[in-house]
A and B are shown apart, each in its own frame.
Chain A
Amino acid sequence: MSQGRGRGFPWPALGSLLLMLALWQAMASWLANPLVPSLAEIGHALQKIVAGGTLLQNMAATLHRVAIGFVLAFVTAFALALGMGRRQGLADFFEPALIIGLTVPGLVWAILCIIWFGISMTGSALAVAISITPAIALNLIQGVRAIGPELLEMAAMLRLPPLARLRYLWLPGLLPVILSGGRLALSLAWKVIVLVEMFGLSSGIGFQLNSEFGAQNVSGVIAWTLSFAVVMAFIEYGLLGPAERHLLRWRRQAAV
């Protein structure tokens, strides 16, 4: 019944990746400069960080911080959106805070949180949470407004208690914007956490990037960046994509 839209093997994507690698390799051999390392050198650097266990360790540290910031941000944004999407007064009250939150660069939150909270999980998680909450909240508010009064009235006629409304109405109804907001937030979160780790922490991808930068080790910088990208791609295509296809299958069903 719920047949996934069977997409074939992504040849075009693979082609573009191979082309990029080939272009890089061509540039590296043409320049013959240690600041533009060849694929072999990058591969060697990658092997080094993978084999020593440093990659796993630092990736885990970074992911942990992002995850905590993410949870904080989502809970806050969800509460904000439920209020702001339904009460104009609340929307007017919180809007300036959201706009300020959106316009202040993540770098500023990173600096401030390190100054205020020092080198701690609190600081890094808060920096992530503050930077991504406005974007998620604005997404969710649109979703709350899109759930019409019809279903709210139905929930009232069925006398669903608050928890049941959350489970049967708000969470599933907002799932599309939760997922799209989550994607956006994830990309923002990575940028902020790397900055926090560069400035104030002694572990994580950002810290490692900073050390490679200090050593002028370009292949190290690229190796860390690449492994980072692989994890991002895995989260997007391996986790979020399939989850979305499953959870939103009610939308894709054609009418009989």
Chain B
Amino acid sequence: MAGTTDTLSAPAALTLQGVGKRFVRDGRPHPVLAGIDLAIEPGEFVSLIGPSGCGKSTLLRLIAGLDPAHEGAIAIDGRAVQGPDAACGMLFQEHRLFPWLTVEDNVALGAYNDGLDKAELRRRVTAQLARVRLDGAAQLFPQQLSGGMAQRVSIARMLMGSRRLLLLDEPFSALDAFTRLKLQAELEDLWTASPMTMILVTHDIEEAAYLSDRIVVMDANPGRIRRIVHNPQPRPRSRVSPAFAQVKAELFALLDVLPEGADR
């Protein structure tokens, strides 16, 4: 192996064909997702957006391999998903760090299956913590971190190893507005610098417009794709440009909501 992992691997492609999911409610099957067809290119940043109950988080869990009972086919780089995949990482709304491990040990678990020796593991942990601007926090416990810091640590954990597809389930929705804006910009930088495909579930129209190449707008009952909005604005993006406002307006119109309604 030569070079660093970041330049070695290529981002993953994802294909969904006829993906559906039913839950049993009151003894009757209740479809939450139906007929989802979607192809995501390697290195793409795609957001899933839609009203509560449109199944966007459920869809992300299916892709993650956390719920094998579904209809249709899900494949990462052509390989059918049959459980959590080595190429796939996930961020949740909560940081989900192990509270009894230090920041450093939590991040190290991100590469548990990579068989690295101690020195190399340590070097990579330090490098990833530096990338999320937490150089000084290695020895802290999760309880000592602010919400934004903790979410940065969980990002660093997912940057370890050789993940090429990152699923993000509203990772910033529990953070304050200022921290959220900062983390969005940092996430975009990390995505640009890493060979990673990213799929973001969000309630935040502006977040979707700021980060994504494409925005998948979903409908509820059962959850399905209503429309895919292309978002070719050049990066880095300005949140106040006319093009940005136009994408946001299109999304607002599609979702039939006011900006205030978008925030949970």
Contact stretch, chosen from A83-91, A119-127, A151-159: A151-159
Check A157–B100 contact: CB distance below 8 A: no
Contacts A253-B143, A255-B144 given; does A175 touch B109 at CB 8 Å: no
Q: Which residue of A lies closest to B146 (CB)?
A: A256
Chain B residues whose C-beta falls within 8 Å of the C-beta of A59 in the assembled complex: none
* In the assembled complex, A168 has its CB within 8 A of some CB on chain B: yes
| Interface residues on chain A, size class | 20 to 34
Q: Tell me, in angstroms, the Cα distance from A161 to B109 when the chains sit together.
A: 11
Residues of B within 8 A of A253 (CB): 140-141, 143-144
Q: How far is the CA of A1 from the CA of B139 in the complex (A)?
A: 9
Measured between beta carbons, the chain B residues less than 8 angstroms from A1 are 139
Q: Of A157, A161, A175, A256, which is within 8 A of B144 by CB?
A: A256
Q: Check if A150 is an interface residue, CB within 8 A of chain B.
A: yes
User: In the complex the two chains form, is A172's CB within 8 Å of B144's CB?
Assistant: no
Q: Is the CB of A157 within 8 A of B90?
A: yes
Whole-angstrom distance between the Cβ of A158 and the nearest chain B Cβ = 6
Residues of B within 8 A of A (CB-CB), count: 28
> For the complex, what is the distance from the CA of A175 to the CA of B141, rounded to whole Å?
16
B96 within 8 A of A: yes
Shortest beta-carbon distance, A252 to chain B, in Å?
9
A150 touches B113 (CB 8 A): no
Alpha-carbon distance A168/B86, docked complex (angstroms): 19
Q: Smallest CB–CB gap between B161 and chain A, Å?
A: 9
Inter-chain contacts of B35 with A (CB < 8 A): none
Q: Is B145 an interface residue (CB 8 A)?
A: yes
Q: How far is the CA of A210 from the CA of B90 in the complex (A)?
A: 63
A173–B139 touching, CB < 8 Å:
no
From the candidates B92, B99, B110, name the one contacting A158 in the complex (CB within 8 A).
Answer: B110
Closest Cβ of chain B to A165, distance in Å, is 10
| Cα separation A157 to B100 with both chains bound (whole Å) | 19
B92 contacts across to A, CB distance below 8 A: 150, 153-154
Complex contacts, A150 vs chain B, CB 8 Å = 92, 94, 96
Given contacts A1-B139, A250-B99, contact A158 B109 (CB under 8 A): yes
Kindly report which residue of chain A lies nearest to residue B85, judged by CB atoms: A159
A254 located at the interface, meaning its Cβ lies under 8 Å from any Cβ of chain B in the complex: yes
Binding site for B on A (CB under 8 A): 1, 150-151, 153-154, 156-161, 164, 168-169, 172-173, 175, 249-251, 253-256
* Seed contacts A168-B109, A255-B146; 4 additional CB < 8 Å A-B pairs: A164-B109, A250-B142, A253-B140, A254-B143
Q: Can you report 8 residue pairs joining A to B where beta carbons are below 8 Å apart?
A: A1-B139, A154-B92, A157-B89, A168-B101, A175-B100, A249-B141, A250-B99, A253-B144
Interface, chain B (partner A; CB < 8 A): 64, 66, 83-84, 86, 88-90, 92, 94, 96, 98-101, 109-110, 112-113, 139-146, 157
